[in-house]
Amino acid sequence: MSKNTGFSITSSERYSLALFELSEENKLLSQIEDQSLSMLNLINQSDDFCNLIKDPTVNQKDLSKVINKIVENNNFNALFKNFLNFLIQKRRFFFIERILRSFIDTCSRKRGELKAELKSAKKLSSDEITKITEVLTKNFSSKIKLNYKHDESLIGGLVVQVGSTMVDTSIKNKLQQIENRMIEA
């Protein structure tokens, strides 16, 4: 089973790199990146579509019809359409989510961006998120691509992770530290 997982990671990275190189050659990188994000959003929002992708019994022609309809409705680029159909033809479409995430990560790395995770106990406004992004950009001397999540389980405070650096000011973490000290005493 672990060999299969390794194969899926390796092949996903190869397909995403191929998509990156094709997009770059055709000067469609930002457009294909936006379309990849749209496809990932569709996968995340639609359980039916997600199940269709992962169902090994789905006929290639049926899957191709669905994908072509999605491409048509979203006005996706011909290059992206051909890539999606190529994955269907090669029976690799079940990797689409991993391939597109890898592609987006590659685009981000090539722009020199650092990935950052932000979790907060209270819902932050877009202005607050922008200010946090600006502070992180200044502190890390690099563009920051911030992934924000609202997490009520933190009780209060923030958790910020940029690369391997983590700052956890959440009340949940502080309570955990107090509990650990009490157990040790």
Helices (H), the chain: 2-25, 29-45, 47-54, 60-74, 78-89, 96-110, 126-140, 171-184
Q: What is the CATH number of domain 2-109?
A: 1.10.520.20
pLDDT given for residue 5 in this prediction: 53
Residues of the chain where predicted confidence (pLDDT) is lower than 50: 1-3
Q: Where are the domains of the chain?
A: 2-109, 114-184
Q: What are phi and psi of 120, to 5 degrees?
A: -135, 150
- Residue-wise pLDDT tens digits, 135-152: 888 988 888 888 899 988
What is the layout of strands, in order, in the sheet containing 165-168? 143-150, 113-120, 158-162, 165-168
143-150 vs 158-162, strand pairing mode: unpaired
| Angle (nearest 5°) at CA 101 between 106 and 41 | 135
Task: Write down the pLDDT at residue 6.
Answer: 53
* Secondary structure in 3-state letters for 44-77: HHCHHHHHHHHCCCCCHHHHHHHHHHHHHHHCCC
pTM of the complete model: 0.70
Q: Are 173 and 159 in contact (CB under 8 A)?
A: yes
Q: Residue 47: which residues within 8 A CB-CB, separation 6 or more?
A: none
pLDDT at site 112? 85
